[in-house]
Structures are given as structure tokens and as C-alpha cells.
Amino acid sequence: MLFQLLVNGLIMGVLYALISTGFALVYNTTRIFHIYYAALIIVAPYCLYALSIVMQWNFYIALLVSLMVCVLLSLLGELLVYYPFRKHNRSENATLVASIGLMTIVINIAGAIWGTEVKFIQTELIKPYNLFGVSISYSQATQFIVSALLLVIFGIALFSSKFGLLLRAHRDDERLFETLGKSNRSFRIIVFSLSGLIAGIVGLLSTIDVGLEPYRGMPLFIISVTALIIGGVGRYESSVLGGLIIGILQVMVIGFISAEWQDAIVFLVLVVFLIIRDQGILGEKERTA
């Protein structure tokens, strides 16, 4: 039983790590508390449902279009709201409220069009199979393989490419980044595009076995923020550590205590970190003047 729980926790943790990475891309780079991310998580699944189930498009074409729509909406949030707010020196609170507004609009549109009942896209992937005595469904295998592969690719890009170097440079000093001749606006477009793509992939992976409903994105968003805080704000790799910790912790609580306590225990751990180590596991204590 313990090994089964560990496997389930690892699968869930890798998915949480990918979710948190998408949020960390925006937050660590721009310091925007990107609540709109919660709505973007549901965009690709609803688009895929509309195109492949309702309109009977080819599944793979519908999948590609759905991800493109998610990236486009992420970019629109940056181009129409976030960047203009920054250009006109709007406060962080104003940007936060605008992000909440964007999230509310998208969620309400989804609810108005498709209703609030749960919908499924690929129910056959829920079927389990045994591997070395461990029961794993096709949906879990898909979640793990895709999430782990994307995290590996992101890790390689972060530490072994020019993009990774620019990403960390922008995180450390945005003004210096601009004085070195780099285009801040162009780089932010790249960051929001990648974050939107991750949101779309996460949305599709997370709804395979639990279905789709308009408010599905908010619990995942909260987990992404919690994972980043536990791992360490400011470090992109910390979201992976935080996601794995939360995934394994949730599954252990479900297995040995009760599913009703999984969220409470996770947030208790979060509160403990905020009290005794608010910089997270990998984060560094900021100097105070």
C-alpha cells in the first residue's frame, strides 16, 4: 500500500510541479500575481471539448487549436492589461484586481456557454492496468510522462540555454535587463506565451480523469502558488520541489487519514513555512537595509 501511495503521490506531484512552473514563469519574472492563470487552465479543455466532441473535428487538430487559443488568451492578458498597467505605473493592487477580473470574465463565459455540470473528453483513459504490482491508469501514465518530459525540457532550457540566462537576468533586475539592450516587452510576450501553453497542457492533463467544470482551475492555481512558496519564491526549480512535496503529502493524507483532510494539512504546512521559513526551502533570505 505504501508503495502504491508513493507512486500516486509522485504522479500527482509531477503534475503539480508543472502547474507551479507555469505560474512561476510569470510571477518570478514580472512579479505579477497572475490569478488569471486559474482561468487559463480551463480554456484548452473547453476548447477541445467544443471542437472534438461537439463539432467533431479531428482530435489532434482540435488539440493543437485549443492550445493555441490558450496561448492567445494569455498574450491578450499581457498586451491589453498587464503591460499597459505597467507602462502607466499602476499599483500592484490595481494589477491584482485586473487579473481577478480577467479570471472572472473567462470563467463566467465558460459557465454561460457550457454550464456548470462536469464534462468528460477521453473517458477510456481512466481504465487502470497493473505494472509491477502497482495499479496505474492510462490517464496517470499520460500525466506523468508529459509533465516529467516538459519539466526536463524546461530544466535544460533554464540552465543550458541563452533563454534560461535571459530569464534569470530579467528576474534579478528588470531595469538592468533593458539597459543591456534587451527588449522587455518582447521577452514578456515570450514568457506569457510559455505560461499560457503550460496552462493549456496542465488543463488538459488534469481533466482527463476528473472531468471539466468552470471552477476547476482555482484549486490548481492555489496549489501552484503553495508549491512555489514552499519550494522558494524566486527560484524556478523550487516549483518542482514544492509540487512533489504537495503531491506526496496529499496522497499520504488520503491514504492514512482521510481525503477530507488533504487540503487542510497542505495549508497547515504552508502556514508553518510562512512562519518559520517564509523564503521556502530553496529560497534565500532577503537582506534588509
For residue 207, give the CATH number of its domain. Answer: 1.10.3470
Could you tell me the pLDDT band of residue 249, with boundaries at 50, 70 and 90?
very high
Number of domains in the chain: 1
- Provide the domain limits for residue 199: 2-276
- The predicted structure's pLDDT at residue 125: 54
Task: Of 45, 65, 66, give the one whose Cα is nearest residue 211.
Answer: 45
Residue 286 lies in a domain: no
Which grid coordinates are listed for 106?
Answer: 473567462
Any domain includes 282: no
Q: What is the pLDDT of residues 256-284, one digit of tens each?
A: 888 888 888 888 888 888 888 878 888 76
Q: Is residue 162 part of a domain?
A: yes
Query: Mind giving me the DSSP string for the chain?
Result: -HHHHHHHHHHHHHHHHHHHHHHHHHHHHH----THHHHHHHHHHHHHIIIIIIS---HHHHHHHHHHHHHHHHHHHIIIIIHHHHHTT--HHHHHHHHHHHHHHHHHHHHHHH-SS-B-S-GGGG-EEEETTEEEEHHHHHHHHHHHHHHHHHHHHHHHSHHHHHHHHHHH-HHHHHHTT--HHHHHHHHHHHHHHHHHHHHHHHTTTT-B-TTTHHHHHHHHHHHHHHH-TT-TTHHHHHHHHHHHHHHHHHHHT-GGGHHHHHHHHHHHHHHH-TT-SS--PPP--
Domain for residue 96, yes or no?
yes
CA 140 to chain centre: 17
pLDDT at 289: 42
Distance CA 229, CA 281 (A): 9
At 15-54, the pLDDT tens digits run 999 999 999 999 999 889 999 999 999 999 999 999 988 8
Q: At what angle do helices 36-48 and 92-114 cross, to 10 degrees?
A: 20
In a domain, 64, yes or no: yes
Count other Cβ atoms within 10 Å, centred on residue 154. Answer: 22
Would 34 be classed as within a structural domain?
yes
Q: In this structure, is residue 201 part of a structural domain? A: yes
Under the banding of pLDDT at 50, 70 and 90, the label for residue 285 is: low
Query: Residue 53: what pLDDT?
Result: 87
Residue 281 lies in a domain: no
